Amino acid sequence: MKTKTLPRRRTLVAFAMLVPAALAVRSVRAQAAAGGVQLFKVVSSRDEVIVGADAALLGAGSGPAVERLATQLAAKGQLTLWQYASSKDAGGALVQVPLRQIVVFKNDALRIEPYATPLPIKPLK
């Protein structure tokens, strides 16, 4: 009896491990479809905000986008970025949309990390 139960459990565990990977791939595809806009979470001592950056802002390079954004912030001291938020489009579907432009100062930013979302991302205004 135990031999039949063990393969089922392994299959269930393997499936459970694949679900987060599938969601991550879906969110990366959604970001790629947004015309090159990638989302990041900027964490400061006061709050955290989701921002979008396009390929022009990230600059050329083969490194991860989060490292290129951090390099730009360190070099310039501040960056003007678009804050993103979830909203409903005309059809009622949830999407990530640019909300307003904000300035991020390198002194205030404690951490920048990639932000994955399953929602479609609208391009920058």
The β-bridge relationship of strands 38-44 and 48-53 is antiparallel
What is the average per-residue pLDDT within 29-46? 75
Question: Band of the pLDDT at 61, cuts 50, 70, 90?
Answer: confident
CA distances 47 to 43, 76, 82, 86, 104, Å, are: 6, 22, 16, 17, 12
Q: What is the pTM of this model?
A: 0.70
**What tokens were used for 71?**
């390099």
* Burial state string for 69-96 with b = 16 or more CB within 10 A and e = fewer than 16: bbeebeeeeebebbebeeeeeeeeeebb
